[in-house]
Structure 1
């Protein structure tokens, strides 16, 4: 996939979390790639309730943008979409974590695995 241009990056990173989530669904269905931050394992964070979250992004540039402060030693790693759907999401669900979609250093869309899978499957049906 071609890199994102800076105008698109700047516009998308400022969108509300629900709109960034829609962008994530469309981009990952199109590219068949998901991005995470990795350093001896996928990075994790938590919400205000203490629930553990695993963050994911639609493109390398957005993941790299979030590799700062406590995540500054992390690298953006690609996850093939079929691996994300068939292996990673079931493991996250089994561990009772939630996906954190497209954090922009301020907020992210946090939802149940089943809702994320349903949205991805609906989008993939259009391809």
Structure 2
């Protein structure tokens, strides 16, 4: 079970640039064995960039919930186990030609990457933590 983040930690992490947030997400997801998405009555929330349809992901429930405002205030944060992410989500996103937007926060975009890239980084991080 992951420990809830305090306000100081949230503020510090929100100050990270997109690349540092990506690295933070990889470490947190592997350490906590889960990744967070937002869902509504239709399923997983999607974002659109100029080039890609994307699924946004976050390392912690607090950051996912912070995104659930405005048009997404009816959404709720849901965790996906790391095993389920590897076994189902990576291939499912690839099959649907969807990208991932890593850890977007208010007023800052996240990095847009492909599912196999995130899968590779998560597996690499897991090897380091053994």
Same fold judged by TM-score > 0.5? yes
Query: Which residue does the alignment assign to 2:44?
Result: 42
Query: Which residue does the alignment assign to 1:22?
Result: 23
Query: Which residue does the alignment assign to 2:54?
Result: 53
CA distance in 2 between counterparts of 1:124 and 1:15 reads 22
Counterpart of 2:16 in 1: which secondary structure? coil
Aligned residues: 126
CA distance in 1 between counterparts of 2:71 and 2:50 reads 18
The farther-off stretch of 31-40 and 109-118 is 109-118
Are 1:101 and 2:102 matched, yes or no? yes
CA distance in 1 between counterparts of 2:93 and 2:114 reads 10
- Give the CA RMSD over aligned residues: 0.9
TM-score normalised to structure 2 length: 0.93
Are 1:84 and 2:85 matched, yes or no? yes
Measured against aligned partners, the alpha-carbon deviations of 1:64-111 in whole angstroms (never above 9, x if no partner) come to 000011111000011111111110121011000001110102200111
Counterpart of 1:107 in 2: which secondary structure? coil
TM-score normalised to structure 1 length: 0.95
Give the ranges of 4+ consecutive aligned residues of structure 1 lying more than 2 Å apart after TM superposition. none
Give unpaired runs (5+ residues) of structure 1: none
CA distance in 2 between counterparts of 1:57 and 1:102 reads 5
